[in-house]
Amino acid sequence: MGTLGAYFAPLLLINGVGLILLSTASRYMNVKAEIQKLTPEDCAKKKEELGREIKRAHLFHRAMVGLYLSIGFFSSSALIGTLIKNYPQVADFILNSFTIAGVACTVFASFQLIVESFLTMEIVKKHADKK
């Protein structure tokens, strides 16, 4: 990469990932609240609905883990790359490897959120059909 600015490029990605993480955590808390509202009787009656909500919670959880890992990789790549900048080949390798890992984690999280959005659409359609 060469310039010191390239070592800070992964840090710029953290802002976007952080925003996605914030909205994902909020949506996860909404699902958690929906599950907690259900009484044991509701759980027995609404097994299918409960199953979908639990599946959504798992998808959000996996997405958040991926986003946290992404932030960790981006932060680490900038830190390690800057600390060993006197060894350009090693620094470039680490910077590129950790940045690629961070992007891969972000893509994984995005796929989890896409699956969740399709599941949510199914739930919305079922509610609309009941009315």
Q: What tens digit of pLDDT does each residue of 100-120 get? A: 999 999 999 999 999 999 998
Mean pLDDT is highest, among 53-62, 89-98, 121-130, for 53-62
Residue range of the domain that includes 85: 4-130
> Closest Cα partner for 16 from 105, 114, 125, 124?
105
Predicted local confidence at residue 50, as pLDDT: 85
Q: How many domains does the chain have?
A: 1
Phi, psi (degrees; rounded to nearest 5) at 84 = -110, 30
Predicted local confidence at residue 71, as pLDDT: 94
Cβ 74 vs Cβ 53: under 8 Å: no
Average pLDDT for residues 10-31, to the nearest whole number?
91
CB crowding 78-103: b at 16 or more within 10 Å, else e: bebbeeebeeeeebbebbeebbebbb
Predicted local confidence at residue 6, as pLDDT: 66
- Is the predicted pLDDT of residue 82 greater than 80, yes or no? no
